[in-house]
């Protein structure tokens, strides 16, 4: 609905701020990536590397989805399509890996 | 070739006109539905003949009617045909395709040409599956084709290749159809048709579409692994390399169990239409029914491993999956009780559709109850892979799904053809098939309990199974006779049957408010929905029509109806995809031809109609105000998430199990990949800027940012090619070890997605140069491409962490 | 017509279930029955089985009765053509709660004993006095090795009564499934992964075993036999199996010994002291078995001769080639093999 | 009676007194449902923190500890929120100092992430073990859990219009998404091949249950049991939504307007 209104209205003040938001997000993505790579080289962080990376890359994922893919601005319907699929995808990965690791270890 | 849309002014049936060419190029959802219906009918007969041949073989112990080889082909193709080429497409392609737009008050599906494409792809996939019969190399490893029996060492012939390829191709068709129909349900509902007012059939098939979207990707991934093992010598399912054939079982049942519900959900939906209509009461507990449908869909995704209780997953996994499996019984029970409560206190009209619904109730309950039995792991250990299971799933899929589908056929036949099926023949059809069905499959419970394993081409005569098997064979022939009656009924009434009129059953939903057969445009005026069971309530005066008639709806006069124009490209694309697949398998020479045909036709189809008005795809949802193309691409992205989830899970499962060669710790080049990751992230920025520019109708800057995005994408791909090449030189090939195969497959598929994205962007850039975006509202095409591009980007965010940054993390 | 027929159908079904349950417990008529438990595990499984069947039966009867009542009370046939207002349609929340909570409780009743059995039948540590038997599944026959006794045999396994036995299941090729119905449940045999199946047989006798997972062309011909023996009988059998092969006594058998030694048999088969092939079954005590060829053929000279002439005709896809032996050679070899008690 | 922790009893009594005092002082009424819900919340708190569950938890029974946590996080907060009224909460949260914090904490995204961060942190082996050994830490963590629980459930049962509930479908989605972190924490615990928390290996285990079996049961309780509970709550919310939606005439009017706007 927003996009329609804006197509009709042309460049509005809302637009300036969005471009800025895109640039800020890009900056955050770059910073988060740098942090991730840095963390992966620090030996002392080894024990907590996995949760740390999950959080950092999760943040990147969320930034792209919310701002570049417009879920933050767009109709709620799109979130309602995407999030359940994401839910199932994550549960599939967790359960498959848990099951198979256990299987390989011999129960 | 520019064909302007036909402006429809006369009220003629969708069946008339066009000739053969019209049917080949049709984009009308009703015609496509009929094509699906005819195709599945043919495959029903083929699958039925296979079943009869098997029953002849098993009629007597140690029979020699069929060879072991032929028998194995028969049961494999019987299962595959009935599941993939009959029950699922008849629900998805015929019932959902035909009925959903009529029930939600739409003129067509969201993407009519994609709909045609789905059908043709399905048809070609089905032909590939059956092509093996021509050289007696039909698939022969069972419908769930357990690895490692399907590896080339144990199945060297072409049998499994036909199976893999046929399933992959028809799977693509199913996913396309599901994306299309889900977008239709979400976005094409008539004004006022909220989710809580949708007919329950639409609810059921909507859940089914979601299940198809999330269930097919794991199958696709499993089949791709199998193909790579067979063609490129990888070891995804081979124990000698540290892998395990159980991966196939997990991936397959991740698809396979939801698939059961994909087949049964349309039946639930049909039941929820037939039972209220013939009880003359609204459906009891509508919200509960809707919710239990959704819950069944959700739960069905968490129970797949109950097919694997015997493989030794350990007591914890067994218990967890036993519990989740039992949970499904609760919403299913709710549905059965609600149907009974709907009948209670009604005026039951004993017409054929209702008879089938009644049989469904009892038989499906029996199937469900035997399902509760093998949800218990201890009992399952006795029942699995025995004839008890054969009995169980035939009670669910034949006594359940197929009976409801037959009921649905009798119910909607007058809407499809304009003529009623004969009631007397219908009763004959019903009673013979009920008796035949129970005669065939009830004894199988006992056979299984008395120790007859499934998939045996012979059994010894001293196990007490002889008379039961003979009984079963007799029942099978009775069922065949019943199908013959159905065919006679169809043949007899096609020309001479009673004319149905728009509302022969005292129906409740919108499809009964329009003529039978419906005109091509379905609704002259898009209806305004004020309640559940809208048509029925207005018929009986529950709802007073509003005093001020909805002026905007009336204003949309007949001459403004734009129908989707016919297109030849769907059939060409389907042919191209099939050619590529076959070429891959048999004649590498035609691969390139097939690819060129596919890509060319796809691009040509995208730009087939220069007039914006001709694209019914470009429409805005009447009830939601959303752009249908965006809804579609989001549905597709949801499906793709599962594709990559399966790949990533496989990588994580096999991580650290390599026996030889370089591994993640020793070989990965993090600095290089960090750079390319950064490049890809920045391409998302430029992409969003390009899209923003197009939205402002600033095509100059849009084009510039588009070019930058393409260049950044190419740099990323270049980095990947360089990386692969250097790994290759360091001795890591696709076949070296588990790391090699999982890494190249996952990263390679991601790269392929980037490459497709680059091609799409290049095409859009070309279109922009040619002035295609001058037409209003076309910037959504850029947005759709951008969503896909960003999605590929976030997949890389995950892969980068999992593969590159966690390279040295040991397994717990 | 319809309601009466449905009633008749229901009666038939119930009678059928009942009859099946009764007759199914007779192992003489049904040697592969799952309702004739002969081990501790099979008894546990059967207890859960009957509990679920009981609940299932109740629910099925309830639903049938409800449908039947609907049909008898609410069918209208004459009024089809006279339009009349639809019947009232009240809804009751209590009813909906009842048919949600009721099944949930029933499932709970079922789940508790069932999951107890899951953990009881899959204990990671075997009982201390368990007899360990290694089972190796091949396309399409079963190899049984007793590591503690040095016994190697095929397609027929002997176990002592009242002593826990633990089968360690392994496969050399594809996935199979190890199923002895009377002993309670199957376990898949997965290449690259050792599975376990533990139970204590309680009644002596001869039982049928089968491969339950489709494993290729001759899946139907991959059966085996289980002999549960008294302690004394088992010890006799064990003493015989642990020794070397009998030396041929008669003329044909002695000639057959030469045929065996010079033939291609030796590349695949083992007879202690003669050959050590491991592709096919160990033949050291071949004649002590009652059946062969995936336990599909009675071990008689005629059957053996037919098998040696053309194995594929009796077991499609069998790995064993037809050796082209004819006449006396064939008869001698048969005589030799049949002497290997 | 050493299992009747005075701190818990005092806390619960204080809460009850505050509630009654607030009702008295304001001169307004609460519905019987609200009173019952609030009483239910207090009873759940008592049951979880005193009595057999707590005792078994102290006796090294993992599954009891898990049950205790689930009661504190998933059962108590919804009852508490249902028991509160807007006029009770408004002065507490919407004064000048608390308002910005409340706005942030009860934002659905923050609440969801906050609760799950707590969930992940508590089940880390280090912190968990420390909690079992040190009473002060244990009490602190229980308080944090209850607070995080209230945050989690706020978007579903908020008593305040100013910090509103999510709309119904979003509530259902929110609950279903809650299954992800629960599975992520519970699956590794259920499937671990060894005892993760050393505390349970030291000293005797009640009823002769093996520590590993206990751990499996606890993991499954959180995964399947709590998952089932969450689905049940989602179900109730769905019913509420369904009741409301069918008589929602404005929907029709709104969409008609939209079409009118478009065609002009």
- Fold agreement (C131-242, C251-338): yes
Q: Do B608 and B568 contact (CB within 8 A), yes or no?
A: no
Find which of B376, B403, B443, B448 to mutate to test the C interface (most C CBs within 10 Å of its CB): B376
Q: How many residues does chain C have?
A: 341
A105 touches chain C (CB under 8 A): no
Tally the C-alpha atoms within 13 A of residue B667's C-alpha that lie toward its C-beta: 21
Q: Token digits for B492?
A: 């007899």
Nearest to C42, CA basis, from C225, C223, C201: C201
Contact residues for B95 (Cβ-Cβ < 8 A; gap 6+): B33, B201, B205, B266, B269, B270, B405, B408, B412
Beta-bridge mates of residue C270:
C276, C282
Inter-chain touch A103–C124, beta carbons under 8 Å = no
What gap in Å lies between CA B669 and CA B724, rounded to an integer? 11
CB atoms within 10 A of CB B512: 23
Q: Token digits for B687?
A: 């992409």
CB atoms within 10 A of CB B466: 15
Q: Do C215 and C188 contact (CB within 8 A), yes or no?
A: no
Name the residue ranges covered by the structural domains of chain B: 27-544, 655-805
Instruction: List alpha helices for chain C, DSSP H.
Output: 2-24, 40-74, 93-121, 231-242, 251-262, 265-268, 301-309, 311-314, 327-338
Q: Do B191 and B553 contact (CB within 8 A), yes or no?
A: yes
Maximum average pLDDT range among B36-45, B616-625, B698-707:
B36-45
**B160-174, C65-79, C132-146: which has the minimum mean pLDDT?**
C65-79
Q: Chain B closest CA to A84's CA: distance in Å?
A: 8
Inter-chain touch B214–A85, beta carbons under 8 Å = yes
Model confidence at B570, pLDDT cuts 50, 70, 90, reads: very high
**What pLDDT is recorded for position D1?**
41
Question: Residue D57 falls within a domain, yes or no?
Answer: yes
Q: Token digits for B203?
A: 């609810």
**CATH number for domain B655-805, candidates 3.30.390.50, 1.20.120.80, 1.20.140.90, 1.10.10.10:** 1.20.120.80
Inter-chain touch B287–D243, beta carbons under 8 Å = yes
Beta-bridge mates of residue C131:
C165
Nearest to C182, CA basis, from C213, C152, C161, C153: C161
The boundaries of the domain holding residue D238 are 6-263
Find chains touching chain D: ≥3 CB pairs under 8 Å.
A, B
Domain C131-242 part of CATH 2.60.40.420: yes
Q: Chain B closest CA to D220's CA: distance in Å?
A: 7
The boundaries of the domain holding residue A90 are 75-107
Torsions phi, psi for B482 (to 5 deg): -65, -40
**pLDDT of B386 above 90:** yes
Q: Do D184 and D246 contact (CB within 8 A), yes or no?
A: no
3-state secondary structure of B549: coil
Nearest to B188, CA basis, from B119, B111, B286, B118: B111
Instruction: List alpha helices for B562-669, DSSP H.
Output: 569-585, 589-606, 628-654, 664-667
The nearest alpha carbon in chain A to C194 belongs to A106
A103 touches chain C (CB under 8 A): yes
A76 touches chain C (CB under 8 A): no
Q: Do C142 and C155 contact (CB within 8 A), yes or no?
A: yes
Question: Which chain D residues have a beta carbon less than 8 Å from that of B551?
Answer: 260
**What pLDDT is recorded for position B589?**
86
D213 burial type by CB count under 10 A (0-12 exposed, 13-18 middle, 19+ buried): middle
Q: Chain C closest CA to A107's CA: distance in Å?
A: 7
The nearest alpha carbon in chain D to A51 belongs to D120
Locus of tokens 């076959």: B582
Q: Token digits for C237?
A: 């059998």
Beta strands in C155-310 (DSSP E): 156-160, 165-171, 176-179, 186-189, 195-199, 205-211, 223-229, 270-271, 275-276, 291-292, 297-298
Q: Chain A closest CA to B780's CA: distance in Å?
A: 9
Return mean pLDDT, chain B.
89
What gap in Å lies between CA B273 and CA B261, rounded to an integer? 18
**What pLDDT is recorded for position D189?**
85
Question: Which chain B residues have a beta carbon less than 8 Å from that of D253?
Answer: none
C133 touches chain B (CB under 8 A): no
Beta-bridge mates of residue C137:
C142, C171
3-state secondary structure of B401: helix
Question: Residue D124 falls within a domain, yes or no?
Answer: yes
Torsions phi, psi for B207 (to 5 deg): -60, -40
Over the stretch B322-350, which tens digit does the pLDDT of each residue have? 998 998 999 999 999 999 999 998 889 89
Question: Which chain A residues have a beta carbon less than 8 Å from that of D167?
Answer: 76
What gap in Å lies between CA B418 and CA B434, rounded to an integer? 27
Domain count, chain D: 1
Name the residue ranges covered by the structural domains of chain C: 2-72+101-121, 131-242, 251-338
Q: Chain B closest CA to D174's CA: distance in Å?
A: 15
The nearest alpha carbon in chain B to C17 belongs to B446
Q: Least CB-CB distance to B801: which of A18, A57, A78?
A: A57
**What pLDDT is recorded for position C82?**
61
A10 burial type by CB count under 10 A (0-12 exposed, 13-18 middle, 19+ buried): exposed
**What pLDDT is recorded for position A4?**
40
CB pairs under 8 A between A and C: 4
Omega before B148 within 30 of 0, i.e. cis = yes
| CA dihedral sign, ordered B498, B502, B506, B509 | positive
Model confidence at B650, pLDDT cuts 50, 70, 90, reads: very high
Model confidence at B207, pLDDT cuts 50, 70, 90, reads: very high
Is ipTM beyond 0.85? yes
Looking at per-residue pLDDT, the higher value among B647 and D50 belongs to B647
Give, to the nearest 10 degrees, the angle between helix D32-49 and helix D76-83.
150
The nearest alpha carbon in chain D to B812 belongs to D192
Q: Do B469 and B461 contact (CB within 8 A), yes or no?
A: no
B240 touches chain C (CB under 8 A): yes
> Looking at the domain that runs over B27-544, which CATH code has it been given?
1.20.210.10
In which element (H, E) is residue D147 found? helix D135-157
Find which of C4, C26, C70, C177 to mutate to test the B interface (most B CBs within 10 Å of its CB): C70
Q: Do D238 and D224 contact (CB within 8 A), yes or no?
A: no
Question: Which chain B residues have a beta carbon less than 8 Å from that of A107?
Answer: 312-316
**What pLDDT is recorded for position C20?**
62
**What pLDDT is recorded for position B249?**
95
Q: Are residues A88 and A69 in the same domain?
A: no
Over the stretch C3-38, which tens digit does the pLDDT of each residue have? 666 666 666 666 666 666 666 567 777 888 888 899
B192 touches chain D (CB under 8 A): yes
Contact residues for B49 (Cβ-Cβ < 8 A; gap 6+): none
Q: Are residues A1 and A48 in the same domain?
A: yes
Q: Are residues A10 and A60 in the same domain?
A: yes
Q: Are residues A55 and A89 in the same domain?
A: no
Q: How many residues does chain A have?
A: 107
Question: Which chain C residues have a beta carbon less than 8 Å from that of B446?
Answer: 16, 20, 24
| CA dihedral sign, ordered B214, B215, B219, B220 | negative
Question: Which chain A residues have a beta carbon less than 8 Å from that of B638?
Answer: 81-82, 84-86
DSSP track, B742-810: HHHHHHHHHHHHHHHHHHHHHHHHHHHHTTGGGSTTTHHHHHHHHHHHHHHHHHHHHHIIIIIITTTPP
Inter-chain touch D238–B327, beta carbons under 8 Å = no
The residue-averaged pLDDT of D184-196 equals: 82
Question: Residue D28 falls within a domain, yes or no?
Answer: yes
CB atoms within 10 A of CB C14: 14
Question: Residue D232 falls within a domain, yes or no?
Answer: yes
Domain count, chain A: 2
3-state secondary structure of B354: helix
B685 touches chain A (CB under 8 A): yes
Over the stretch C260-302, which tens digit does the pLDDT of each residue have? 998 888 999 999 888 888 899 999 999 999 999 999 999 999 9
Find chains touching chain C: ≥3 CB pairs under 8 Å.
A, B
Over the stretch B58-109, which tens digit does the pLDDT of each residue have? 999 999 999 999 999 999 999 999 999 999 999 999 999 999 999 999 988 9
Nearest to C51, CA basis, from D166, D118, B451, B373: B373
**Rounded to an integer, what is the distance from CA C162 to the centroid of its chain?**
20
Inter-chain touch C35–B449, beta carbons under 8 Å = yes
**pLDDT of A10 above 50:** no
Instruction: List alpha helices for B233-314, DSSP H.
Output: 246-279, 286-299
**CATH number for domain C251-338, candidates 3.40.50.300, 3.40.1010.10, 3.65.10.10, 2.60.40.420:** 2.60.40.420
Q: Are residues A11 and A34 in the same domain?
A: yes
B residues 449-478 near C, CB within 8 Å? 449-460, 462-464
**What pLDDT is recorded for position B548?**
38
Find which of A37, A38, A66, A72 to mutate to test the B interface (most B CBs within 10 Å of its CB): A37
The residue-averaged pLDDT of D222-239 equals: 86
Q: Least CB-CB distance to C74: which of B67, B345, B460?
A: B345
The residue-averaged pLDDT of B733-749 equals: 92
Over the stretch D38-77, which tens digit does the pLDDT of each residue have? 999 999 988 888 877 777 777 778 888 888 889 999 999 9
Contact residues for B702 (Cβ-Cβ < 8 A; gap 6+): B690, B691, B693, B694, B768, B773, B782
What gap in Å lies between CA A53 and CA D15, rounded to an integer? 41
């Amino acid at each position: 609905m927003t996009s329609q209104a804006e197509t009709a209205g042309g460049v509005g003040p809302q637009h300036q701020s969005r471009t800025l938001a895109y640039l800020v997000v890009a900056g955050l993505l770059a910073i988060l990536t740098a942090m991730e790579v840095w963390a992966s080289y620090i030996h002392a962080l080894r024990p907590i590397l996995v949760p740390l990376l999950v959080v950092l890359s999760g943040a990147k994922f969320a930034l792209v989805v919310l701002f570049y893919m417009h879920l933050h601005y767009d109709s709620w319907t799109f979130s309602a399509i995407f999030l359940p699929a994401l839910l199932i995808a994550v549960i599939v990965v967790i359960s498959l890996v848990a099951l198979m690791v256990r299987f390989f270890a011999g129960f | 070739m520019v064909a302007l849309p036909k402006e429809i002014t006369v009220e003629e049936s969708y069946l008339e006109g066009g000739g053969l060419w019209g049917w080949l190029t049709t984009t009308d959802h009703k015609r496509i539905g009929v094509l699906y219906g005819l195709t599945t009918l043919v495959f029903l007969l083929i699958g039925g003949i296979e079943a009869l041949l098997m029953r002849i073989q098993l009629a007597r112990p140690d029979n020699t009617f069929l060879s072991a080889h032929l028998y194995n082909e028969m049961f494999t193709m019987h299962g595959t045909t009935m599941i993939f080429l009959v029950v699922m497409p008849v629900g998805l392609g015929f019932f959902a395709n035909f009925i959903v737009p009529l029930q939600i008050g739409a003129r067509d599906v969201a993407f009519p040409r994609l709909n045609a494409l789905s059908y043709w792809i399905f048809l070609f996939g089905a032909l590939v599956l059956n092509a093996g019969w021509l050289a007696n190399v039909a698939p022969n490893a069972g419908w769930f084709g357990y690895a490692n029996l399907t590896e080339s060492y144990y199945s060297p012939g072409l049998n499994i290749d036909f199976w893999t390829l046929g399933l992959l191709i028809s799977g693509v068709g199913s996913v396309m159809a599901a994306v299309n129909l889900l977008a239709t349900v979400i976005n094409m509902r008539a004004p006022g048709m909220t989710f809580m007012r949708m007919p329950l059939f639409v609810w059921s098939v909507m859940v089914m579409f979601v299940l198809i979207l999330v269930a097919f990707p794991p199958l696709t991934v499993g089949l791709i692994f199998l193909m790579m093992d067979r063609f490129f010598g990888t070891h995804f399912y081979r124990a000698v390399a540290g892998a395990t054939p159980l991966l196939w079982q997990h991936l397959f049942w991740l698809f396979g169990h939801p698939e059961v519900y994909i087949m049964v959900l349309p039946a639930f939906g049909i039941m929820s239409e037939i039972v209220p209509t013939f009880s003359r009461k609204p459906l009891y507990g509508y919200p509960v029914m809707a919710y239990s449908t959704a819950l069944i869909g959700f739960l069905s995704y968490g129970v797949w491993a109950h097919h694997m209780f015997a493989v030794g997953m350990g007591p914890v996994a067994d218990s967890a999956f036993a519990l989740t499996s039992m949970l499904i019984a609760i919403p299913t029970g709710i549905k059965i009780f609600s149907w009974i409560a709907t009948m209670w206190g009604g005026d039951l009209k004993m017409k054929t559709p209702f008879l089938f619904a009644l049989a469904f109730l009892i038989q499906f309950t029996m199937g469900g109850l035997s399902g509760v039995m093998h949800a218990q792991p201890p009992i399952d250990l006795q029942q699995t892979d025995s004839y008890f299971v054969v009995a169980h799933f035939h009670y669910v899929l034949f006594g359940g799904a197929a009976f409801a589908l037959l009921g649905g056929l009798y119910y909607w036949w007058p809407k499809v053809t304009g003529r009623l099926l004969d009631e007397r023949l219908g009763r004959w059809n019903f009673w013979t098939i009920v008796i035949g069905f129970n005669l065939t499959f009830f004894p199988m419970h006992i056979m299984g309990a008395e120790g007859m394993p499934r998939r045996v081409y012979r059994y010894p005569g001293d196990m007490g199974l002889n008379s039961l098997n003979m009984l079963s064979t007799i029942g099978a022939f009775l069922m065949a006779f019943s199908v013959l009656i159905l065919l006679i009924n169809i043949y007899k009434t096609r020309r001479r049957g009673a004319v149905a009129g728009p509302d022969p059953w005292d129906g409740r939903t919108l499809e009964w408010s329009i003529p039978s057969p419906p005109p091509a445009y379905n609704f002259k005026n898009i209806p305004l929905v004020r309640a559940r069971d809208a048509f029925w309530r207005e018929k009986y005066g529950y709802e007073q029509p509003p005093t001020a008639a909805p002026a905007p709806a009336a204003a949309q006069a007949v001459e403004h109806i734009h129908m989707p124009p016919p297109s030849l490209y769907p059939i060409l694309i389907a042919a191209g995809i099939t050619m590529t697949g076959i070429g891959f398998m048999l004649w590498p020479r035609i691969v390139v031809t097939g690819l060129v045909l596919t890509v060319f036709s796809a691009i040509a189809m995208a730009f087939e109609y220069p007039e914006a008005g001709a694209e019914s795809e470009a429409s805005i949802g009447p009830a939601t105000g959303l752009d249908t193309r965006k809804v579609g691409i989001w549905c597709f992205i949801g499906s793709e998430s599962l594709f990559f989830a399966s790949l990533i899970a496989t990588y994580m499962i096999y991580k650290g199990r390599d026996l030889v060669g370089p591994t993640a710790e020793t070989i990965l080049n993090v600095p290089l990949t960090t750079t390319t990751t950064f490049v890809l992230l920045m391409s998302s920025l430029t992409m969003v800027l390009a899209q923003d520019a197009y939205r402002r109708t600033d095509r100059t800057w849009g084009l510039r940012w588009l070019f930058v995005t393409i260049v950044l994408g190419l740099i990323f791909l270049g980095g990947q090619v360089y990386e692969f090449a250097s790994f290759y030189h360091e001795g890591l090939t696709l076949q070296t070890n588990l790391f090699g195969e999982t890494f190249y497959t996952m990263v390679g598929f991601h790269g392929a997605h980037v490459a497709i994205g680059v091609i799409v962007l290049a095409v859009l850039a070309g279109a922009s140069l040619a002035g295609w975006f001058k037409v209003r509202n076309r910037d959504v095409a850029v947005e759709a491409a951008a969503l896909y591009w960003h999605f590929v980007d976030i997949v890389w965010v995950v892969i980068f962490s999992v593969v590159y940054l966690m390279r040295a993390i040991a397994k717990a | 017509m319809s309601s009466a027929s449905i009633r008749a159908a229901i009666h038939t079904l119930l009678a059928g279930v009942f009859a099946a349950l009764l007759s199914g417990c007779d192992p003489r008529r049904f040697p592969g029955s799952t309702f004739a438990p002969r081990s501790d595990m099979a008894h546990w499984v059967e207890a859960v089985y009957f509990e679920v069947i009981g609940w299932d039966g109740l629910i099925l009867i309830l639903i049938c009765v409800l449908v039947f009542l609907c049909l008898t009370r609410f069918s209208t046939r004459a009024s089809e053509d006279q339009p009349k207002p639809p019947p009232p349609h009240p809804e009751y929340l209590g009813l909906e709660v009842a048919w949600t909570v009721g099944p949930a409780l029933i499932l709970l009743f079922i789940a508790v004993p069932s999951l107890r059995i899951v953990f009881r039948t899959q204990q990671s540590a075997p009982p201390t006095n368990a007899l360990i038997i290694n089972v190796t599944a091949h396309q399409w026959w079963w190899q049984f090795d007793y590591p503690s006794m040095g016994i190697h045999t095929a397609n027929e396994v002997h176990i002592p009564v009242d002593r826990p036995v633990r089968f360690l299941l392994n496969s050399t090729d594809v996935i199979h499934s190890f199923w002895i119905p009377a002993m309670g449940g199957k376990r898949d045999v997965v290449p690259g992964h050792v599975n376990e199946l533990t139970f204590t047989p309680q009644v002596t006798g001869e039982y049928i075993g089968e491969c339950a997972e489709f494993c290729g062309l001759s899946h139907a011909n991959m059966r085996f036999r289980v002999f549960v023996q008294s302690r004394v009988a088992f010890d006799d059998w064990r003493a015989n199996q642990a020794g070397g092969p009998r030396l041929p006594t008669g003329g044909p058998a002695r000639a057959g010994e030469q045929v065996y030694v010079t033939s291609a048999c030796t590349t695949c088969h083992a007879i202690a002291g003669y050959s050590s092939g491991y592709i096919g079954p160990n033949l050291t005590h071949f004649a002590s078995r009652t059946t062969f060829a995936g336990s599909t053929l009675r071990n008689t000279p005629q059957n053996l001769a037919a098998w040696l002439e053309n194995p594929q005709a009796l077991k499609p896809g069998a790995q064993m080639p037809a050796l082209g032996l004819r006449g006396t050679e064939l008869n001698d070899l048969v005589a030799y093999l049949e002497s290997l008690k | 009676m050493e299992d009747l922790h005075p701190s818990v009893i005092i806390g619960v009594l204080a809460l009850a007194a505050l509630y009654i005092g607030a009702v008295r002082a304001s001169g307004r009424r609460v519905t019987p449902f609200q009173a019952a819900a609030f009483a239910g919340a207090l009873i759940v708190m008592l049951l979880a923190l005193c009595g057999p569950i707590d005792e078994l938890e102290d006796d090294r029974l993992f599954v009891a500890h898990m049950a205790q946590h689930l009661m504190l996080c998933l059962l108590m907060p919804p009852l508490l929120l249902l028991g509160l009224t807007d006029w009770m909460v408004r002065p507490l949260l919407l004064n000048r100092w608390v308002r910005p914090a409340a706005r942030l904490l009860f934002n659905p995204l923050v609440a969801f992430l906050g609760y799950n961060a707590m969930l992940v942190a508590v089940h880390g082996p280090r912190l968990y073990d420390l909690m079992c050994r040190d009473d002060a830490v244990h009490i602190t963590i229980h308080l944090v859990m209850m607070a995080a629980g209230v945050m989690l459930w706020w978007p579903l049962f908020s008593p305040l219009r100013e910090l509103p509930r999510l709309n119904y479908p979003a509530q259902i989605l929110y609950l279903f998404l809650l299954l992800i972190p629960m599975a992520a924490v519970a699956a590794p615990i259920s499937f671990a091949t060894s005892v993760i928390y050393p505390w349970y290996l030291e000293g005797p285990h009640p009823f002769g249950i093996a520590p590993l079996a206990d751990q499996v049961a606890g993991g499954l309780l959180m995964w399947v049991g709590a998952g089932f509970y969450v689905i049940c709550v989602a179900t109730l919310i769905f019913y509420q939504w369904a009741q409301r939606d069918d008589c929602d005439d404005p929907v029709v009017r709104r969409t008609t307007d939209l079409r009118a706007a478009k065609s002009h």
